Structure 1
Amino acid sequence: MSYSVAQLAAATPGNRDRYVDLLRVASLGTVVSGHWLMAAVTPDGIGNLLAVVPGLQVLTWVFQVMPVFFFVGGFSHALSYRSLCRREPGRPVYAAFLRARLRRLLRPTLAFVVAWGAAALAVQLAGGGGGLTGVALRLVTQPLWFIGIYLAMVAFTPPLLRLHERYGWAAFCALVAAAGAVDVLRFALGVPYVEFLNFAFVWLAVHQLGFLRADARAAGGGWGRVPVLLAAAGLGAAALLVAVGPYPLSMVGMPGEKVSNMAPPTFALLCHGLWLVGAVELLRRPATRLLAAPRAWRAVVAANGVAMTAFLWHLTAMLGVYGAQLALGLDLPRPATAAWWAQVPVRLAAAALLTALLVAVFRTFERPAPAGPAPSSGSGPLAAGGITLCLLGVLGLSLTGFGGLLEGHTAVLIVVPVSAPVAVAMVLAGWLLVERPPAPVRTPAASATRDAA
C-alpha cells in the first residue's frame, strides 16, 4: 500500500527529528545545484567553472556539503540499529540492519546502472560514443563514489557504534587523530599509498559525529556549546592548513591539481566537515520552528521520497540540456563570459525540469518496500560479503564509467583493474547476498513435527 505525501506528513511521530530530514534533502540538493553550476561545457568537452574562475573556489567552503550528509547518516544509522536491537533482543541483527538500510539506496542505484548500461551498449554497438556522448558515458557514473562510501558507512555502523558506546568522544577523537597521522605520513614522510586510508578515517569521523548527536537527542537535550566549538575550531584549522600547508583552497577536486582535498580526502577536508556540522547545528532551532508548519514539513517529506533518484539522474539531466543546445545549433558561450552567465538561470531551470521528468519515471524504485513481518537476523557473514561486493562494484563503476564497453576499458580500483561489466556484476552479486532470505530457524517443535510426518 502506498501513501500520499500528506498522509505520510500527518503520520509523522511527534518525537521525530525533522531537522535531520531537512539536512538530508538540503545537502543532496546543494550538491546537485553545485554540479549543474560548475559544469563548463563547450563543443570540445566539459570543464570546471572553478578552474576557469579560481576566485570562486572559496565558495566550496560553504557548498561542499557531503560531510553534512554523512553526519546525518551516522545519526540515522545509530537510531535505526538501536531500534532493531531493541526489537530483536539477544539476536544478531547485522544482516537485517543492512537490508533495511540498503533497500531504498541500492534499488534506485541498480535501476540507474541497468538503464545507463543498456543505453551505453546500444550506442556503442551502433558505432557511437564519441564527442559529448562519450563524455557523458564516462561522466554520469562519477557521483556513484558517494554511494560506495555511504555503503561503507552502513557496513561499519555496528562495530563503530559499539566502540562509540564504550569510548564516546574518545572514539571520534581517535579517528580524527588517525586522519591527521595519515596526512603526516603522506606529506611529511612521503609514505606511498597511505593517503587512501583517509577514505575511511575522514568520512568515518564525520559519521561518528552523528552517533554523538544521536546520544544528545536520546538524552533529551542539545549539545550545549559543542556546535560553536566545532564550527570555530574546524573553520580555523581548515584555514590554517590551507594557508601554510600543502592543501588547495578548493574543497572539491580540481582538474590538474597535484593535491586534491577530495580524492583521497585530506585532514583539511575533515576540518571543513567539522566546521559545516557545527554551522548547521547552530541553525537547528530556527529551522525546527519552520518545520513545525505543515506545508514546510510536507515539502521535506516529498523531497525525501525522491532525493536519491534525483541525485542519481541529475548529471543525466544536465548533459541532456547541453546536448539539446548543441543538437539545436544554439549558442554555447565560452564559460564565465557575460553571455554564459546570462544563460545560467535558463540552463538550471531546464536541468531541474528534466530531472523532475526522470524522477517521475524512476521514482518507483525508491519507494519503501511494503511492510512485512519483523526482520529476521539472517546471515551476518553473507551480508557483510554482499555489502563489500556492492561498495567495491559501485566505486569501480564510478571510476570506469560506461565508455569503452566494447574495447574492454578498465580503471584501477585500489590496486586491481576493473571494467564496467565486472563492476556491475559485483553490485548485482552483492545485492543478492544482502537480500538473500535467511534459512528458517529450526525449533524443537518444528523438528518433532517433521519427524512425526
Structure 2
Amino acid sequence: MPRLLPDFHAVIDGTAPDRDRSIDVARLSALLVVMFGHCALLLATITSDGVQIGNTLGAVPSLQPATWVLQVMPLFFFAGAAAGVYSWQDGTPWGTWLFTRAQRLCRPALWYLGAWTVALIAVRFTMGAESAAALGNEAVALLWFLGTYLIVLAFVPALARLRSGRSVTLVVMGLMAAAALGDWARISTHTMEAGAANLLVAWLIPMVIGAAYAHRFIAPGTALAVAAGTLAVQVLLAEFGPYDVSLVVTGTERMSNVTPPTLLLALQCIWMSSLFIACAGAVRRWAERPRIWYLIVVGNSGAMTLYLWHIAAIAIATFGLHAVGLDAYDPAAPYFWRNIAIRALVFAVVMTVMFLLLSPLEHNPLRWWDARVRASGRASTVAGVLVCVAGVALLLMAKNGLGTGAGWMLLALFIGALAGARLSAGRPPARCEEAERNPASGLSAR
C-alpha cells in the first residue's frame, strides 16, 4: 500500500545542509494565512432564495485594518523569486528554465481545471447556464495568482543577474514610480483597466526583493529599517490618500487595492518582504527542528493542492455546518465567532483529507507533459513566450470566470499555449538533432 506521507527520516536525512529553510517557511506560512483568512471572511448560508454569499470585512468595516497583516501574498512572490535565483544556472536557456518551472506548477492546475470542466458541464445540463456561469466564476477566481506567477517568473533569470544592492534599489524605485503612474491613470480616467499594468508592476516588487535576499544584498538591520520606514509611508498614504484601507477584496470597495494592485499594496510588498529578511535568520533556526521541518516539507510538497482546493474545502465545511444549524452568516448574530471557529476546525479536517487524496497529483508525472526539456535558442524562447501567454489567459479566465463562452475560449487558449510550449520545449538543439539522425557524426564530433 503506498504511503500517504513521506517517511520522516527520509525527509530529515534527505535535506541538503545548505538549503535555505526560511523560504519554505515563508511559502507555507503565507499559504496557511490565506486559507484560514478565506475561511474566516466567507459569509454564507442557504435560504428560500438560494445561496447567499457575503464577506466579513464588508459587513464589519472596522476589521479592515487587519488586512495589513492578512495580506501576505507578497511573501509568495518573494519566496518564488528567491527559490528561482537559487535554482538558476548561468547558461541555461531562458525559456527552457521557465518551462521546467511551469511543468511543476501547472500539473495540479490541469487536474483542477479538468475536474471543474466536468462539473460545470454537468451543472450546465442539470441546473442551467446561469448556474454554471455563477459557479464557474467562483471556481477559477483564485487562479489569478498562478497566472500572474507564471508571468513574473519569466523575470527571474534577469533578476539573477543583479549585481548590487544599489541596482536593486533603483529597480524597486522604478517599479514604485510605475505603480504610482498606474494609479494616477486609473484615478484620472475612473477605469480599472487604466491601471492594469500594475498587475505586473506591483508583484514584481517582492520578486526583486526576493532576488536581493538570495544574493545577500540586504543586511537584516537595513531590512528592518526599510520595513519600518515603508510601513510609516503606507500608513500616511492610507490616511491622506485616495485609497481604501482594506488590502483584500471586501465587496464594498470604492477603489480596490487588489484588482489591480495600487501603490498602497506595492508598499505592503516592500515592508512585508523586508521584515521577513530581518527575521529570516531566526526563522531558519526554528525550521531546523526535525519535527517542524518535516511538517514544513510535507505542507510545501502539496502547496498547489492546498491553494487550489481550499475554497472547495471551505464550502464543504460551511454548508455541512449549515445543515446542522451552525451558520456563520450574520456577524451580529449570537455565537457568530464561535461558529466561525468551529468552521475553521472542520475546514482543517476536510482540507487534510483532500490534501492526502489529491496532493499525489502534484508529484505523479504526466507522460507527455513531463517529458525531458531540452530546447535551446529560438525553440526555448518560443516555449518561454508561450508560458507567458498561458499566464495571461489564466489571468483573464480568473477575471471573466469559467462556464461562459469567453471562459471556455480562455481555457482553450491556456491549454493551447501550454501545449505549444511543451512541443517547443521538447525540441533538441540542432546539433542534437543531427547526432540523433547520424549517430556516427555524433561520435566523431567528440
What SS is found at the alignment partner of 2:43? strand
Q: Deviations over 1:406-426 (max 9, x none)?
A: xxx35xxxxxxxx22112212
| AA of the residue aligned to 1:380 | S
* Whole-Å separation in 2 of the counterparts to 1:8 and 1:431: 32
The runs of 5 or more residues in structure 2 that have no matched partner are: none
Partner of 1:139: 138
Does residue 356 (structure 1) correspond to residue 352 (structure 2)? The answer is: yes
Q: CA deviation at 1:190?
A: 6.5
Query: 1:256 aligned to 247, 252, 261, which one?
Result: 252
Match of 1:74 in 2: 81
Q: Does 1:385 align with 2:385?
A: yes
Residue in 2 that maps onto 1:433: 420
Amino acid paired to 1:73:
G
Single out whichever of 376-385 and 287-296 deviates more from structure 2: 376-385
For 1:186 and 1:215, the matched residues in 2 are separated by 35
Flag the 1:190–1:140 CA change in 2: closer, same or farther, 3 A: closer
Task: Tell me the amino acid that sits aligned with residue 426 of structure 1.
Answer: L
SS of aligned partner of 1:442: helix
What is the root-mean-square deviation in Å for CA atoms of aligned residues?
A: 2.9
Aligned residue runs from structure 1 range 97-136, under 5 A:
97-127=97-127, 135-136=134-135
Greater mean deviation of Cα atoms: 349-358 or 66-75: 349-358
Change (3 A) 1:350 1:96: same
AA partner of residue 428 (structure 1): I
2:347 pairs with 1:340: no
Q: Bigger shift: 182-191 or 272-281?
A: 182-191
Aligned residue for 1:253, secondary structure, equals coil
1:383–1:434 contact (8 Å) kept in structure 2:
yes
Q: CA–CA distance in 1 between the matches of 2:233 and 2:268?
A: 8
TM-score, length-normalised on structure 2?
Answer: 0.87
Work out whether residues 237 and 268 of structure 1, in 8 Å CA contact, stay in contact via their aligned partners in 2.
no
Name the CA distance, whole Å, in 2 between partners of 1:77 and 1:333.
41
Q: How do residues 186-265 of structure 1 correspond to structure 2 at under 5 angstroms?
A: 186-187=186-187, 193-216=193-216, 223-265=219-261
Task: Say whether the 8 Å CA contact 1:94–1:377 is kept in structure 2.
Answer: no
- Which string of whole-angstrom CA distances, capped at 9 and with x for unpartnered residues, describes residues 248-285 of structure 1? 11011221322011111000111112121222223223
Q: Given the superposition, is the C-alpha separation of residues 184 and 302 from structure 1 closer, same or farther in structure 2, using an over 3 Å criterion?
A: same
How far apart are 1:237 and its partner, in Å? 1.1
CA distance in 2, matches of 1:212, 1:71: 10
- Per the alignment, residue 178 of structure 1 pairs with 178
Q: Is the 8 A contact 2:42 2:56 kept in 1?
A: yes
Task: Work out which of the residue numbers 12, 16, 21 in structure 2 matches 1:9.
Answer: 12
Task: Assess, with a 3 A threshold, how the Cα gap between structure 1 residues 174 and 332 changes in structure 2: closer, same or farther.
Answer: same
Post-superposition CA distance 1:12-42 (Å, at most 9, x none): 1111110110000001111111111100113
Shift of 1:68: 1.2
SS in 2 for 1:141: helix
Tell me how many residue pairs correspond in the alignment. Answer: 425
Given the alignment of the two structures, is residue 156 of structure 1 paired with residue 146 of structure 2, yes or no?
Answer: no
* C-alpha contact (below 8 Å) 2:237/2:264 kept by paired residues: yes
Q: Secondary structure at the match of 2:246?
A: coil
Q: Which residue of 1 aligns with 2:43?
A: 40
Unaligned runs of 5+ in 1: 411-418
- Are 1:74 and 1:208, in contact at CA under 8 Å, matched by a contact in 2? yes
Task: For residues 335-372 of structure 1, give each alpha carbon's deviation from its aligned partner in whole angstroms, at most 9, with x where no partner exists.
Answer: 213322121122112112222222222212212759x9
Provide the C-alpha distance between the structure 2 equivalents of 1:75 and 1:451, rounded to a whole number of angstroms. Answer: 42
Residue 140 of structure 1 aligns to a residue whose secondary structure is helix
Percentage of pairs with the same residue: 26
Looking at structure 1, the residues matched to 211 and 297 of structure 2 have their Cα atoms a distance apart, in angstroms, of 23
